Chains A and B, each alone.
Chain A
Amino acid sequence: QSVLTQPPSASGTPGQRVTISCSGSSSNIGSNYVYWYQQFPGTAPKLLIYKNNQRPSGVPDRFSGSKSGTSASLAISGLRSEDEADYYCAAWDDSLSGRWVFGGGTKLTVL
């Protein structure tokens, strides 16, 4: 059972806008930055969004992040087939002397 809650799956058709939610608590999302990672099968995760809504260089602006209270969202606009991957949210959690916590991951399917 992951500390951060994500829907196990999401889907959309090419060109659509999809959002993936990440729900936490006051000790993690509510008081710390949220990060998003993209992972293709058999490969290592890649940082997609940092500090809630910042994109590393090279990440298309079709990807955007937001945070409100104890929840965060990743939005992908202009969906492409190559966006089909697993997406994970993460945040620092101030409980238990501090720890990084991840969501359970969302598998995005492009129909």
Chain B
Amino acid sequence: QITLKESGPTLVKPTQTLTLTCTFSGFSLSTSGVGVGWIRQPPGKALEWLALIYWNDHKRYSPSLKSRLTITKDTSKNQVVLTMTNMDPLDTATYYCAHDSVDSSVWFDPWGQGALVTVSS
């Protein structure tokens, strides 16, 4: 059974850097064809894709946020870390991580429970 869980601060100040950790079980990011993605959802709004990291350390970023995002993996700890710089109140959202099976084209399944991050001074 695949499970993921996001962790990190619930409140950050404007201009600060956000660091979120996705800790997962039930799969390994060293297995060919596996990936982990990050998606966020502002309160009452739609989903927005942020970044992806693959088993081979290939990374993809949302073009509109690329300059602010960094995604890394720690295979030994079964973790993926997303950092977002220069946080703004508009970045207030629930941040989700999700498992991807690249080989079978099954994307974002399953999802973690989400972590609500509020950006406010």
Q: Which chain A residues have a beta carbon within 8 Å of chain B's beta carbons?
A: 2, 33, 35, 37, 43-47, 50-51, 56, 88, 90, 96-105
Contact = CB atoms under 8 A, between A and B. Distances in A.
A56 B106 contact: yes
B63 interface: yes
Given A44-B114, A45-B96, A96-B63, A101 B49 contact: yes
Given A96-B63, A99-B63, A100-B37, A45 B46 contact: no
Interface of B: prevailing SS: loop
Contacts, number: 62
B63 A47 contact: no
Contacts of A101: 49
Interface string B73-115: 0000000000000000000000010000000011111111110
A97 B64 CA distance: 11
B11 interface: no
B60 interface: yes
B112 A102 contact: no
B109 A47 contact: yes
B48 interface: yes
B46 A104 contact: yes
B60 A45 contact: no
B31 interface: no
B10 interface: no
Nearest to A56: B109
A9 to B, nearest CB: 14
